[in-house]
Amino acid sequence: MLKIDKYAAIDIGSNAIRLLIATVIEKEGVEPLFKKTSLVRVPIRLGADVFLEEKISEKNYHRMVEAMQAFSLLMKNHNVIEYRACATSAMREARNGQQLADKILSETGVKIHIIDGTDEAAIIASTDLKDLIEDNKVFLYVDVGGGSTEFTVYANGKSITSRSFKLGTVRILNDMVRESMWDEVRDWIREHTKDYEKVNVIGSGGNINSIFKFSGKKLGKPLSYFFMTNYYEKVKEMTYHERIFEMQMNPDRADVIVPATRIYLSAMKWCKAKNIFVPKIGLADGIVKSLYNERIAKELEVK
């Protein structure tokens, strides 16, 4: 007998807002199966507001309300039993972030949790990432967003150290990242990976997923430093419109892809990694896993 439930995660990022609806299939004596049922992405670039004006504009606030109303209806239609909405650096740094989150709750019924970089890293760590991190290997996990990038070093199957930097694709596009920030990230990566002979990088985020799709590699196979270097040179030399037409990128991907690739490539260079693995997991996947684990914990308490 199978137990089938649906959970949802709303990821409110600096570059886009996403709704993930996942079906969790349980069978006694077997690990639960997490199946992505629906993924909706809305390109509301909150970071463009916040990093320049320090607040979310009225226009983007109304777009957020419309998105949450649509997401709410989709969750209802899918019979979602539990959801969580998490907002990262853009809403975290907006002067009116919490105020707008409260207004969105009253207008749409969707409660938004504004989380910090540490929370974000912990949520992602609850995903299938742990299955990839083997006990005898060392990994630098790099999650590139529009407003920030989270770095975590894993060794002996455990998280050793983690840090969030205000090094995001939307910030870079708006010329808001000083060279000193790149230096700070470089020094942090070198300091925390210098004692390990071999380090691999794990990349997450929409941009690295886009790069992986372009590579044509089979899921589970890594991208090499050589491939990433060639890809970076290719996209950097193309115009914005060439990336949209010739590489068939979405318009809101075609500009951020260049700074994102630079971040991944720099991280590989600074920890001397020859490969980057792309498991296609992110904050939304972690939220779903967290919701499921919380439900199981509650059921055990009741028993």
Digit-coded pLDDT (tens) for 180-229:
999 999 999 999 999 999 999 999 989 999 999 999 999 889 999 999 99
Torsion of CA 176, 180, 182, 188, to 10 degrees: -130
In the CATH scheme, what architecture does the domain 2-117 have? 2-Layer Sandwich (3.30)
CA-based end-to-end distance of the chain: 21
Task: Quote the percentage of the chain above a pLDDT of 90.
Answer: 83
185 vs 192: CA distance, rounded Å: 11
* Matching fold, domains 2-117 and 128-281: yes
The residue extents of the domains of the chain are 2-117, 128-281
Question: What is each CA distance from 68 to 11, 62, 178, 247, in whole angstroms?
Answer: 11, 10, 34, 31
Torsion of CA 160, 277, 164, 105, to 10 degrees: -120
109: pLDDT strictly greater than 70? yes
245: pLDDT strictly greater than 80? yes
pLDDT at 219: 87
Q: Minimum mean pLDDT among 26-30, 96-100, 135-139, 289-293: which range?
A: 135-139
Task: Quote the percentage of the chain above a pLDDT of 70.
Answer: 98
pLDDT in tens, 180-192: 999 999 999 999 9
167: pLDDT strictly greater than 70? yes
In the CATH scheme, what architecture does the domain 128-281 have? 2-Layer Sandwich (3.30)
128: pLDDT strictly greater than 70? no
282: pLDDT strictly greater than 90? no
Averaged pLDDT for residues 119-130? 76
Q: Which residues in 191-210 are b (16+ Cβ under 10 Å) and which e?
A: ebbeebeebbbbbbbbbbbb
CB 85 within 8 A of CB 47: no
pLDDT at 302: 65
